[in-house]
Structure 1
Amino acid sequence: MKTDIHPDYHDVTIACSCGNTFTTRSAMGKDHFNIEVCSECHPFYTGKQKIVDSTGRVDKFNQKFGNMFKRG
């Protein structure tokens, strides 16, 4: 095998704009990385996700196919 071909794999501290920080490993050249959204503040993970429907498409779909996809 060839030597010295692998990138430097080291710990990187990730800081979210919500204040959450965590450590992961990466080959990225930085030791600290800032992100805007993480699993602590993203609406999908927090359960506060809202469907924006300005044209009534969701209501029209539910009227047409409402009972077909409900789980029992």
Structure 2
Amino acid sequence: MRPGIHPVSRPVVFRDRVSGFHLLTRSTVDTRQTVEREDGITYPVVDVEISSASHPFYTGNTRVVDTAGRVQRFERRYGRTAPARH
């Protein structure tokens, strides 16, 4: 490999904000936040919105999406379109 062109890979903790799940892996992401793990070592940390610990597909929890309410809110916001002519 040519020196000086590759990003530095280092251990990084990815933390799920919802469930508190932590995953220690190697990454090239740059972050200034740190967290101390159970082993007493301080690692850079990246907060993520969702992971396998909180994703509905992996946990089996389903979410109800109110599509009718979304359509009505869209129509209130932007108005109804004219009916199509054939």
TM-score, scaled to structure 2: 0.53
Which residue does 2:50 correspond to in 1?
Answer: 37
The reply on whether 1:7 has 2:2 as its aligned counterpart is no
CA distance in 1, matches of 2:30, 2:14: 13
User: Which residue identity is paired with 1:45?
Assistant: Y
The reply on whether 1:47 has 2:48 as its aligned counterpart is no
CA distance in 1, matches of 2:45, 2:63: 32
CA RMSD of aligned residues (A): 1.9
- After TM superposition, the runs of 4+ consecutive aligned structure 1 residues lying more than 2 A away are 49-55
Structure-2 change in CA distance of 1:49 and 1:2 (3 Å)? same
User: Which residue identity is paired with 1:16?
Assistant: D
How many residues are treated as equivalent by the alignment? Answer: 55
Structure-2 change in CA distance of 1:36 and 1:54 (3 Å)? closer
TM-score, scaled to structure 1: 0.61
CA offsets, 1:12-43, max 9 Å, x none?
10111111111111111122100121101111
Secondary structure of the corresponding residue to residue 22 of structure 1: strand
